[in-house]
Structure 1
Amino acid sequence: MEMLRMNFSSALLFYEFNFKTYYQTLNKIMLLNPRLILIGMAFAISANSNNALAQSTTTLTLDSFVQTKGSWSEVRDAWTDPIHNQLLFSEGKGNVLINTPTKKNPGKDIVSLENFGDIELSLTYMLAAGSNSGIYIQGQYEIQLFDSWKTITPKAGDNGGIYQRWDDLKPEGQKGFQGYAPRQNVSKAPGIWQTLEVSFQAPRFSESGGKTQNARFNFIKLNGVVIHEDVELFGPTRGALKANEVAEGPIRIQGDHGPIAIQSLEIQQMNFPAPKISSIKYQVYPGAYTQYPAIENLENGHSGDLNSFEEFQTGVSGASLTKFEGNIRILETGSYTFEVEVPRGLGALQLGGDSGQPEFKQGKIKVEKTLSPGEIPYVLWVSKPRDWTAQGFFWSASAEGLWPVKFSEPVISFENSTDPIWVNADETPVLRSFIQLPNREKISHAVSVSGKSGIHFSYDLSTNQLIQVWRGAFLDATPMWNNRGNGVSLPLGVVTTLNMGESLLFSQDFTPIDKELKSSGYRVLGDGELIFDSKSETGTMLSDHLKLMDNGQGIVRNMDLKGSGQAHLIKVSAGKQLRKISSNLYLIADTGVYLQVLSEGVSPQASKVDSEDGIFLPITSKLSYAILF
């Protein structure tokens, strides 16, 4: 197993198993993501590490590719002005790859020297305004990298799209076919780092060379949101390196269309050998058990041998406890994670000769163990303490470089599976609900607003703060309305959190000021446009006018503060990395938004207090600015 990495920050991709019925629910929801977890790591694992389990890694520099002369270079940082030009700017020397083609130097595609088969890939990249690039998996299947900042309905040629195949022999208008558009546009503005995560299964071939199985994208995530899932590829996309498909091929990055910067590219090869159940014996004990029983007191039911867990039938109409035991064949030393779950029941798992009484548990049981090659004994307990209408339980194994292997799964779905409830923005463009913050706190008096330009925002009536903005679909109200509900609605696109319900007004030394501004309601003026009114008992009044921009770039905020008579600061966004792009445009790099100051003579500043993170603007009476995202 190898990892291909380009970056000054390292990360490994682990794919955590989701059970079949849970996936069925997610497929209905469409945009909820497979549980792909990006785990940050400080340093790469050395190929010469003394750790016996460490797998070799390959860190690629630009020299690891071919055709890198001309427009490609390595820099420390990159940025752009998304409004006024279509160039990428850079500074310093570092590990960020940048491609800046010009008419005199049109640029070339770069192709990795190493070939790959099954992989999970993570790419962090930046585009300039109007830029067009792409990444070819195996040099054959292109995922489009395109400036789709203001697109409402994406096509196959938009950011994250699976580019179409091509046949010159077909009639005009039909030459391109089998392209796949993203489910929604969750692109970010030019000059903001974006992430692409890909799970790819290579095509399979017989010994004679004939293709036996098509290539497949298990999923593609753009900026943390699933935009493709389980897409079968019937052949190479347009512009592939070869006309025929291959078992292994290079990573190719398009370089002759437009500027692109790459902060990181990580590839986890999914070639770790899977463990296998080599033997299964079972013994059924009738009765209801919620904890480990006294073995000598158990009443025997029936027993036998199985070739697979699919063959198992208890033969008992009521509650039962079943003991499975046998061996798991391990082919390569590694750190394995085994997960068991018994729907509406309890389970316990012992591996490798573990002794003692296992703890019976409801819900997911996770056992992590380092195993060497050989036959590893297991004992699995499955307790169903009440009458059942169907058989089955979940059991899976996973490891780094190994897609989850399912040993067993039930024939019924979870009882709490439910169809999603999405808010139709055309019918309900403004919705009151709770908002769940990233720190798990809830905002109880929130308003979420949709715009026809495909962007949205949430506002906290308690603090008069702009809480979050996002691009894509509107709201999932399943938690709010399903069953008894908990009042929470969830944004469906790529979300940027600006505030966590902090106070609106701050003093010049960044100390929060409580003016006791209480909401007196809001007025809907039009599509994505509202005025939020509030006042205090001392006579201070705030008229807060927010409008989503028709061109889809972001949101404009016009604030009118009366009766205060003092100079204050307001917190515009979280973050401390502030870069001036043009006369009134600033990039808040660590939050991933632009701040455009519309009031003359006003400049933003980052907090100078360690305990207060944020970007602030001064206000005495009136203030206007825009957040572009």
Structure 2
Amino acid sequence: MNIKLTCRITVIAVLAAFPILAQQQDIKLPPEATEFWEPEPRVVTPANENHLPPSDAIVLFDGSSLDKFLGIKDGGTAPWKVDNGTFTVVPGSGDLKTKESFGDVQIHIEWSAPDVVKGKSQGRGNSGLLVMGKYEIQILDSYDNRTYSNGQAGSIYKQHPPLVNAMRSPEEWNTYDIIFIAPRFNSDGMVISPAKATVFHNGIVVQNAVELKGPTEYIGIPNYKEHEAELPFHLQDHGDLVSFRNIWVRKLN
């Protein structure tokens, strides 16, 4: 381990322990005793109202091309349609997946249901974001559209309903900001720490650090099976003309 890093860890550990010892000994501490200045958090330029991503983000779609994605059906060029800074599902062409893999991650994605409202319940503006290709955060036109609660927009599909319905109308864009913590497995392949997700839908918390019960299952009970620490995430072709724009991620490792 780097000597400087070792020293920093030692200093933090001592500073963390000292107030406890002082409390036990009834010693009065100056305010500086509970301050530490190293390591200093690195500077990141935040996203802004012009939709520019943070300075350390990995931009997956900037409005120009889908060269950061692959089509899942044949593993080739992503077949969805790019137009005017957005891209739209081509029904029947299959899901997309990112070329890059991710574990613990922050995801920003903007999406819009079709302007022309057709269908109801799960048959209206349906897609999905599958983190690690396994854990689905539902994308659905849930604006004035009743469906099962753990299958509407903002749900961890078939597991956790959203705290509220924060859906905008079909003529407007929706935003998801997601914090995803990947599951951890021991050497025997048993899950020792389940996946967790926090989801903001249009700036409103709809999932608050919920624990996932396993990968998404349409039928049956989810169960964890050991998988890689990092995997691509998928966008689902569910047969509806859902559009996307401004997708970026930040690895949290």
Question: TM-score band (shorter)?
Answer: 0.5 to 0.7
Are the aligned partners of 1:107 and 1:255 in contact in 2 as well (CA < 8 Å)? yes
Q: Distance in 1 between matches of 2:113 and 2:51?
A: 27
Asked if residue 63 in structure 1 is aligned to residue 57 in structure 2, the reply is no
| Map of 2:154 onto structure 1 | 160
The alpha carbon displacement at 1:55 in A equals 5.2
| Map of 1:260 onto structure 2 | 242
Deviations 1:133-177 (A, max 9, x none): 00001111101110111046861111111112xxxxxxxxxxxxx
The alpha carbon displacement at 1:71 in A equals 5.4
Deviations 1:447-483 (A, max 9, x none): xxxxxxxxxxxxxxxxxxxxxxxxxxxxxxxxxxxxx
Deviations 1:571-591 (A, max 9, x none): xxxxxxxxxxxxxxxxxxxxx
| Map of 1:502 onto structure 2 | none
Q: Distance in 2 between matches of 1:199 and 1:70?
A: 25
Q: Distance in 1 between matches of 2:51 and 2:131?
A: 27
| Map of 1:227 onto structure 2 | 206
Mapping 1:50-449, distance limit 5 Å: 57=58, 59-60=60-61, 61-67=65-71, 72-76=80-84, 95-101=85-91, 106-128=92-114, 129=117, 130-151=124-145, 155-164=149-158, 179-217=159-197, 219-238=198-217, 244-246=225-227, 247-271=229-253
RMSD of aligned residue pairs (Cα, Å): 3.0
Q: Distance in 1 between matches of 2:58 and 2:180?
A: 19
Are the aligned partners of 1:107 and 1:256 in contact in 2 as well (CA < 8 Å)? no
Q: Classify 1:208/1:243 alpha carbon distance in 2 versus 1 (closer, same or farther; 3 Å).
A: closer
The alpha carbon displacement at 1:231 in A equals 0.9
Q: Distance in 2 between matches of 1:56 and 1:194?
A: 20
- The aligned amino acid for 2:185 is F
Q: Distance in 2 between matches of 1:207 and 1:197?
A: 32
Are the aligned partners of 1:151 and 1:185 in contact in 2 as well (CA < 8 Å)? no
Are the aligned partners of 1:205 and 1:211 in contact in 2 as well (CA < 8 Å)? yes
Q: Distance in 2 between matches of 1:134 and 1:116?
A: 17
Q: Classify 1:260/1:43 alpha carbon distance in 2 versus 1 (closer, same or farther; 3 Å).
A: closer
- Contiguous gaps of at least 5 residues in structure 2: 1-44, 118-123
Q: Classify 1:149/1:233 alpha carbon distance in 2 versus 1 (closer, same or farther; 3 Å).
A: same
**In structure 2, the residue corresponding to 1:190 is in which secondary structure?**
coil
The alpha carbon displacement at 1:182 in A equals 1.2
**In structure 2, the residue corresponding to 1:180 is in which secondary structure?**
coil
Structure (1/2) with the larger strand percentage: 1
Q: Distance in 2 between matches of 1:127 and 1:234?
A: 28
- The aligned amino acid for 2:66 is L
Which protein has greater RCO, CA pairs closer than 8 Å, 6+ apart?
2
Q: Distance in 1 between matches of 2:133 and 2:244?
A: 18
| Map of 1:461 onto structure 2 | none
Aligned length: 189
Q: Distance in 2 between matches of 1:112 and 1:253?
A: 9
Percent of aligned pairs sharing the same letter: 28
| Map of 2:4 onto structure 1 | none
- Contiguous gaps of at least 5 residues in structure 1: 1-36, 46-53, 77-94, 165-178, 272-629
Q: Distance in 1 between matches of 2:191 and 2:111?
A: 33
The alpha carbon displacement at 1:191 in A equals 2.7
Are the aligned partners of 1:118 and 1:270 in contact in 2 as well (CA < 8 Å)? yes
Structure with larger Rg: 1
**In structure 2, the residue corresponding to 1:143 is in which secondary structure?**
strand
Q: TM-score, normalised by structure 1?
A: 0.28
The alpha carbon displacement at 1:42 in A equals 8.0
Deviations 1:27-73 (A, max 9, x none): xxxxxxxxxx963278678xxxxxxxx85845454122221768512
The alpha carbon displacement at 1:234 in A equals 1.9
Q: Distance in 2 between matches of 1:108 and 1:70?
A: 9
Deviations 1:328-364 (A, max 9, x none): xxxxxxxxxxxxxxxxxxxxxxxxxxxxxxxxxxxxx
| Counterpart selection for 1:39 from 24, 47, 60 | 47
- The aligned amino acid for 1:222 is H
